[in-house]
Amino acid sequence: MASKFDNAHAWEARLERASSYALYLHVPFCAQKCAYCDFASWATHRDDPLMSAYTDALVSQVRELEDIGALEGLRTAYIGGGTPSLLGAPALGRLVACASALGPEELSCEANPDSMGDDVIDALLSNGATRVSIGVQSLNDFELRELGRLHDAELAQERVRAAVDSGLDVSCDLMCAIPGQTDASWHETLEAAIALGTTHVSIYPLMIEEGTAFDRRYSNEDCAWNSDEVQACRMQMAQVGLERHGFNQYEVASYAKNGKACKHNISYWTGQPYFGLGTKASSMLTLKLYLKLSEKCGSLPAPPSGVSRARLTVKNSRLQIACDPRLASLGFDIEFLTEAQAAAEDLMLGARMRAGLDPGLVSHARRVLPSLDECLGGLVADGYLQTRGSSLAPTQRGWLLGNELYERLWDLAPGDVLEV
């Protein structure tokens, strides 16, 4: 039986990795900006040459990372957006092939029904993608129009079926607590999505973000349809309905059939280092991986003493990246985390997982967070965590009131994160 020391050592090995576990490639182009979206994406014509040039720039940057050994042993890759399928089959095929050549176990790509033709599906398959995540959001035409989506329910169902029939693993993204949605229409969307044969479903309650069209439209309204109570009710409806059909909830917003959980998303919640390329893309790097990147990006500042993790966000615009694809040309917003802050962050992220907090993480965190046991005991007493097997896992209350749970875990870390 592994000792607490062995568990802690196993977790600490993640902090010492000199290569990335996961790779994210951001495609910032969309046919139309959705009313709720605050992601880094811009409405773009299908024939805009910037998309092809930007794609080639990402391919070049991936190869630079590969040349310095930063992607050795890569386990997952994910092409997100924006709308990667808007690139069209030739450009998307090049990007998928580049990621596939790195040998990941899982290679996911996001797509929208209105731009995922058969040629795009063929490009995904023939170039090594294993999985597609389709932005369906709703299967009710009125709700889709309210969200500003370009597809209708019929097209979404036809395109999801085509992806399923192709042999790709298919995930369906759905939104709840949206304008016009009722309990009945939400139930109908869930049942219709399940019937399409998908093996993964992600459920997101609508967040009205500052600066979006929804923010301008609803800033002076009560929005009872988006209340915390409605969000919790719809999330619970999804949980009951999906689990009844054989889906297992493995993360706050994610459900999968056996063996179909998204490995890339799990890497985000379990302390694995990852690279993000593309405008506004984020990376989480170990100190060793940050220093390796510094070999290519000489403008990166030397890390302060006592740092064990760096978070980077690309500052370059899509045009700047397309015009100068060199890694050395990239600018970053940077946050440096101490070992204690990294442990608190990992606890906070790990609490999103249905399996609970990794025992190795808890053993490691005890070394650097003196008040950990007191905090965990309080979260159990308050009904946010419970014992599940050998782990502490979120209760139903902890799942529905996650922000309170995550905040108390993050607050274990002393001091402020150093921003550069």
Give the per-residue pLDDT at 5.
44
Q: Is the pTM of this model over 0.85?
A: yes
The span from the CA of 287 to the CA of 342, in Å, is 12
Element (H, E) at 183: helix 183-195
Name the one residue in this structure whose structure tokens are 């990402």: 58
**What is the distance between the alpha carbons of residues 11 and 4, in angstroms, rounded to a whole number?**
11
Cα–Cα distance measured from residue 271 to residue 284, given in angstroms and rounded to the nearest whole number: 9
Instruction: Specify which residues 137 forms β-bridges with.
Output: 174
pLDDT (mean) for 176-196: 97
**Cis? peptide before 82, omega within 30° of 0:** yes
- Please answer whether residues 207 and 226 qualify as being in contact, where contact means their C-beta atoms are separated by less than 8 angstroms: no
Annotated domain spans of the chain: 20-267, 351-419
Q: What is the mean pLDDT of the chain?
A: 95
- CB burial class (10 A; 0-12, 13-18, 19+) of residue 187? middle
At residue 10, the pLDDT reads 72
Distance CA 159, CA 138 (A): 14
Query: In this predicted structure, what is the pLDDT of residue 2?
Result: 46
pLDDT tens per residue across span 251-278? 999 999 999 999 999 999 999 999 999 9
Helix, strand or coil, per DSSP, at residue 274? strand
* Mean pLDDT (whole number) for 154-166: 98
CATH number of 20-267: 3.80.30.20
| Token pair of 118 as six digits | 């058969």
pLDDT in tens, 332-383: 999 999 999 999 999 999 999 999 999 999 999 999 999 999 999 999 999 9
Give Cβ neighbours of residue 294 (< 8 Å, ≥ 6 apart): 300, 302
* pLDDT exceeds 70 at position 3: no
pLDDT per residue as tens digits for the range 291-324 = 999 989 988 999 999 999 999 999 999 999 999 9
Q: List beta partners, residue 23.
A: 77, 275
Residue 27 CB contacts under 8 Å (≥ 6 apart), including other chains: 54, 55, 79, 80, 81, 82, 83, 84, 86, 87, 95, 110, 278
* 11 — pLDDT class (breaks 50, 70, 90): confident
